[in-house]
Amino acid sequence: MEVAKKMNKRALNRLKKAIDHSDKLSQRQAGRQFNITHSYVNQLCKKHQISARKKMGIPNRTEQQKAVNRAKCGNLYLKNPGISWILDDESYFTLSHSTHNGNDYFYSSDVSATPASVKYRPKSKYEAKVLVWICMSEKGVSAPIFIESGNAVDQFTYLKFIKCALIPFIKKHHSDGNYKSWPDQAGAHYSGIVVNHLVKEKINFIEKIENPANLPEVRAIEDFWSILKGKVYENNWNAENLAQLRNKIRLCLRKMDPNLVYKLIASTSSRLNKIRMHGLIEKSY
């Protein structure tokens, strides 16, 4: 610790620069490189709000798909000024949260500022144990709905999500009508019975033709899943059974910082505008 205390301001800035928005160094590796203890690196990360994040998968996209998505993001940005975005999605949680080989984590003080090439990884399928659905807006996060592995999210299941959670969430937090519900482009989300019910209930939603496909980096809920899983599996926690896993997910959702949720959702318009202005800039895999 005495060595750590003697680090001057310039050295501390070099250390912060080496870790923040990077997947090159772990905290232990940074400690060895700068000749300080792992615990002191951890203290510095906490001081600067630099947290370990789980990389998300992004799909490969053709240049044509990138151009179409850029145009759609521009339209969403320009046609929806000042609205509240409501995002919904589902994600899989396993008992042990097994990871892929390679560097699967990165450090960041602000995940929205981290380069795409650092925070995303090529996506591959893995065996799921429990499926969790939520919706979220600047007002907060809905109660989760759980589906055990093996039960696909078809149009009837998604309609249940809408009736039981999405519409009540909208009526509770967005009764002024100044919102847009934004699902991803999964077929079940735009089936006839789903769309008819949304229209019947006068829900404002992004129509399928407007919705950018295969663009997880513009949807803040993808970052939310990454943060939530980091909290659920913190310190290499493993669930003994599905009931324990569901309880841990509920607990972590209740403890989620409302300011973090607000910040993520508030970044939606800026994400759309960034792609509108500069296109998709991630490295291809």
Query: What confidence tier does 2 reach under pLDDT thresholds 50, 70, 90?
Result: very low
Distance CA 231, CA 63 (A): 36
Over the stretch 88-142, which tens digit does the pLDDT of each residue have? 999 989 988 754 334 566 777 787 788 877 777 544 455 447 999 999 999 999 9
Distance CA 229, CA 86 (A): 21
pLDDT at 203 over 90: yes
The answer to whether the pTM exceeds 0.85 is no
Query: What confidence tier does 160 reach under pLDDT thresholds 50, 70, 90?
Result: very high
Distance CA 197, CA 181 (A): 14
Over the stretch 35-80, which tens digit does the pLDDT of each residue have? 888 788 888 888 887 877 766 666 677 888 889 999 999 999 999 9
Distance CA 285, CA 283 (A): 6
Taking all residues of the chain, what is their mean pLDDT, rounded to a whole number?
Answer: 85
End-to-end CA distance of the chain: 41
Centre a 10 Å sphere on the Cβ of residue 131 and count the other Cβ atoms it contains: 19
Torsion angle of C-alpha atoms 219, 221, 224, 228, degrees rounded to 10:
-140
Architecture of domain 56-278: 2-Layer Sandwich (3.30)
The strand pair at 84-93 and 179-182 is best described as parallel
